[in-house]
Each structure stands twice: as C-alpha cells, then as structure tokens.
Structure 1
Amino acid sequence: MMALERLENRERVLLENQFQVAPSFTPASPLSFTALELLDGEKCRDMIARLAETIGGAPLVAVASQFSKKYTFMVIVPALFTMSVLNKGLDLSLGNVVIDLEQPGEKSPFAAQLKRWTVTKPGSRREAWRERLVTQLIGRHVVPLWHQLHESTGVPLAMLWENFALYVYWLYETKLVGLEGEEQKRVETDYHYLLNETPASLYAEKIQPLARFHSPKCWPAHAPEPVRIRKTCCLYYQVGDKTCKTCPRNCFTITEPCRDTPLEG
C-alpha cells in the first residue's frame, strides 16, 4: 500500500492563491455538499437552483455550465497542478471535496474545500502512479459528476467537457510555462499524456474530449490576441452581460475569418 503524507502548509497556501481552493477545512454548513452527495439528482438540482437564485435567476442549464467551469478551476486544475508541479497526488475522491454555498469565495458564488489534504508520491514508477491519479480524477470523479449535472439540468455533456478542456489547456499552455529542468519536463510529459494517451473510454465518450476540443488558436476579427474559439457556447451571456472572447457566437457576426497574423495597430 502506498504511504500517505500531508500536503505542506506552504503548498496549500499556494493552491489557495493560485486557484481559490480553501487551504483549511471548515465545518459543513447547511448549504454545503460533498461532490459525492451531488451524484444524487435531487441534491444536484437543488444546489444548481440555489446558485441560480444568487446570480439573478438564470436558467439552470446556464448555471450548471458556469458551475462546471468554476469547479474545474477550483478543484480539478489544482489537482493537475499538484501532480505536475509538486509531483504529488491529492485525494480527489468524491467524498473528500466539499462545495459550500454559504461561504462564497471572493470571485466565486461558492467555496471549494478538501476534507483531507493527504497526498501520495510517485516513487520509482511515476507513469503507473500518474495513470492511477488521472483515472481517479477523470473516470471516477469528473465523469459521474458531469453526467449528473447533465441529467439534472439538461446541460449538454459536450459543453461540460469543453469547459473542462479549456481549463486544462490554460493550465499547461499558459500557467505552467517558463519552468526549468525536471519540473518543465514533467509538465510537458504530463500534458502530452493527457492530450494524447488518455483514452476516450476514460471519459465515457466516443471521442476523447481533450483531443476533440484542442483546435488551433487564431486571430478572429473581434479579438486583439490569438484565441482558441470554442466549439460550444458555455452560455455565460445568460448569466453575465456579455459573451466570452472565445465564444463561437461572436464568429457568427464578424466580417473577417480567423487569420494567422496579429491585428495591426
């Protein structure tokens, strides 16, 4: 059996600063749910409905989409960061993740917490260790949660998977650049593994989502920098007051196609 350790305090604070995940666990409130509890259809719909109330009564499908984006940023991305940068594996079992609507974050309508900050280390067989971590993270965590969100609110699975994929791209293509030595090599190897070696079956999909949505970046007429235009709309415009800069809806109204040169001026 692999020995468990606790993530160091400085590493927990790093995750809080980078991804807004709470560094310490506070007792559950009446409006808190473990990710495991959210696999119950009634509880999942209740949680999304309560979130909808806090942001002005937006449609449940749009709220579910925005929840999946925040959840990926605050729970899934920190786990990948910990794997690739800290070379440690967080416990992301469904019962260990708590979503608290009573204690919202500074930039989020809910707080994300872990009950236990235990971690594993790879030892001499890192590839096998990584495979176990990713299988737990995607196959046993994200897949059942995404399917319950889909069943409870009608939000399309493709939309949820693209929300997930874009944050994975952001982490490895934007956040984790300019590293050095073994750390950089580990990041590049892990990203290649996620993009090219995780099978579609792990996601319970016919096409592997990270590969499906990994289109080339381009300069659309409305954008000042290269972007990866989404294939699905995340419905942010139904919650906020504008579309995202990568929204495919924008591409329906521009007069110039995506181009491979930057905007002038």
Structure 2
Amino acid sequence: MTREMITETEEKFLSGHFRYYTHEHMQEPVLETVQAEDLMSREGTAHVLNDLHLYLGSQSFLTTGSFLGKRLGHYAVTVPIVMMTVLDKFPDVSPGNVSYIRIDDNPKWFPKFHLKDKSVSLPGEDREEWIRDNMRQLFRDFLKPVFFHIHKTTRISKKVLWENVAIYLYWLYERKLPEWFEGEELEQKRRDFYFIINELDGEPFGENKNPFTYFKDQPVLPSGARERKCCCLSYRLHEDSTFCKVCPHLKQMENLKK
C-alpha cells in the first residue's frame, strides 16, 4: 500500500480546527502525557482514570470513565477520521504511535493528539476496503480494548462509551463538513459516513452489531445536534455540573414541567 506523510499544511489545518499537536507546540511546557499504549492494559487504564478523577475533581468514578471515553471519542473522530474523509489520508493509530499531550490547565482536561510517526496510508482502488481497514485499526485494535478496560474498571456501560464516539461522528459529518464543502462535494465526503454506519458490522467494535447504527434514528435537536440515547453522566461530575446540551434527561425534565 502506498504510504506518504502528513504535510505541514495539513498539520496546521488539524491544529487550527482541532486539538492536534504540532512541532510549534513543542515550545510549550508539557504538563502531562498519556501514552495510548498505557491504555492497553487494565492497570494502565486504571492509573489514567485515577489521575483524571483527581484532576477533574470528579465525585463519580462512573462519570470519570464516561468522560475519558468521550475524550477518546473526540480525538478518534477529529484527527484520524477527519484526515480520512477530508485529506484522503489515514494515520498510523496503533497505540504505540499515539499520545495525548497536555500543555494547559484547562479544567475540562483537553490534551492534544500527538502522532509520533507522521506516515499515512492512501486509498487504493477500493476505497470502502480502505475505510474498513482503517476502522478496524481505530476501533478494534485501539478503542475496543480501551473501552473494555474502562468498563471493567468503572462499570460504565459500553453503550455509553460507544455513544461518546457516535456523537462526534454525527457532529462531524452532519454539522462540521458543511462549513467546508457543499453540494456534490459534500455528499461525496459523506459517503464515508454512510459506509461507517450502514456497512460496518459489529466485528470492528467487538459487538454483535455496529453500535453507531441505532444512533441514526435519534431526534435532531433545533441546534442540529443529535439527541443522545444514553446519558453520559456529566451532570454527576461534581456539584456545579449540569446536563450536556444533547442529554435525553433534558426532554424528560421539560415534559415533567408541562
């Protein structure tokens, strides 16, 4: 398979729109580094969760587990999948090549996604097979084992963890891409999305079926976002926390007020 590198221009694009770590960030002091490889073990995941629990001031270990899953889902979509659809490149997301580097004291814990090796794969004649291979690497070989460890350590439902990825996947293709593309070009870019949610079976996720499929029937809110099916428990983080804007509890609370 043909391999190339991420260009400096592409890195600037990723850094400008998302939390991607470039050489320019190397001038900043590193406050914390989480190696993706450490998340491949139960012990390593527990260590990251404990540190995150303290950093967030979390009062619920369930919420800490969901929070970590949400952040990992965000990074999975906003770097590898954005690169795949927007740039026609896919990075090496094997655990040994990925780290999360924090260079600020954002109380919501937002490190930057760092790729050690910048080489990428390109689509060949069969784009769908390329996407399938990419999603296996991203979901089966990385997120699935991490989510298993988070689930076993915190008892947070794996449905919640996969929905924490789904919310960003739908956000990207339904709300973010129209900022950059329109018409036939937009529809062409969205074909990757349709393949991911309609054609992938449960194998890359370690589930009986693709966990993203049920989410496509979720209501679209006035903001354009999809309402969650499962609560991510962010309202239980600490006493000042509130429901997220796509929480299913919000509709329930509104109905109770009527």
Shorter-chain TM-score category?
A: 0.7 to 0.9
User: In the alignment, what sits opposite 2:203?
Assistant: 201
Describe the superposition over 1:210-249 as per-residue Cα deviations: whole angstroms up to 9, x where unpaired. 1022224245xxxx54543211110111225210121122
Q: Are the structure 2 counterparts of residues 129 and 235 from structure 1 closer, same or farther at C-alpha, using a change threshold of 3 Å?
A: same
Q: Are the structure 2 counterparts of residues 182 and 214 from structure 1 closer, same or farther at C-alpha, using a change threshold of 3 Å?
A: closer
2:128–2:195 contact (8 Å) kept in structure 1: no
Q: Are the structure 2 counterparts of residues 23 and 182 from structure 1 closer, same or farther at C-alpha, using a change threshold of 3 Å?
A: farther
2:218–2:228 contact (8 Å) kept in structure 1: no
The answer to whether structure 1 residue 163 and structure 2 residue 164 are counterparts is yes
Runs of 4+ in structure 1 over 6 Å off: 27-30
1:61–1:153 contact (8 Å) kept in structure 2: yes
Describe the superposition over 1:114-147 as per-residue Cα deviations: whole angstroms up to 9, x where unpaired. 1111111113332222221121111112111111
State the structure with bigger RCO (CA 8 A, min sep 6), 1 or 2.
2
Aligned runs of 1:1-265 on 2, under 5 Å? 2-24=1-23, 31-100=32-101, 103-104=103-104, 108-177=109-178, 179-180=181-182, 183-218=185-220, 225=223, 227-239=225-237, 241-255=241-255
Letter in 2 for 1:69: K
Distance in 1 of aligned mates of 2:105 and 2:15 = 11
Secondary structure, counterpart of 2:195 in structure 1: helix
Secondary structure, counterpart of 1:76 in structure 2: helix
Q: Are the structure 2 counterparts of residues 135 and 52 from structure 1 closer, same or farther at C-alpha, using a change threshold of 3 Å?
A: same
CA displacement at 1:45 relative to structure 2: 1.0
Describe the superposition over 1:142-165 as per-residue Cα deviations: whole angstroms up to 9, x where unpaired. 111111111122221010011111
Secondary structure, counterpart of 1:68 in structure 2: helix
Q: Which has the higher helix share?
A: 2
Count residues with an aligned counterpart. Answer: 251
Task: Tell which deviates more after alignment, 21-30 or 191-200.
Answer: 21-30
Gaps of 5+ in 1: 258-265
TM-score by length of 1: 0.84
Give percent identity, aligned residues only.
28
CA displacement at 1:49 relative to structure 2: 1.1
Gaps of 5+ in 2: none
Secondary structure, counterpart of 1:69 in structure 2: helix
Q: Are the structure 2 counterparts of residues 105 and 214 from structure 1 closer, same or farther at C-alpha, using a change threshold of 3 Å?
A: farther
Describe the superposition over 1:94-126 as per-residue Cα deviations: whole angstroms up to 9, x where unpaired. 11111235x347563433211111111113332
Secondary structure, counterpart of 2:255 in structure 1: coil
Q: Are the structure 2 counterparts of residues 157 and 82 from structure 1 closer, same or farther at C-alpha, using a change threshold of 3 Å?
A: same
2:162–2:211 contact (8 Å) kept in structure 1: yes
Distance in 1 of aligned mates of 2:247 and 2:18 = 23
Letter in 2 for 1:233: C
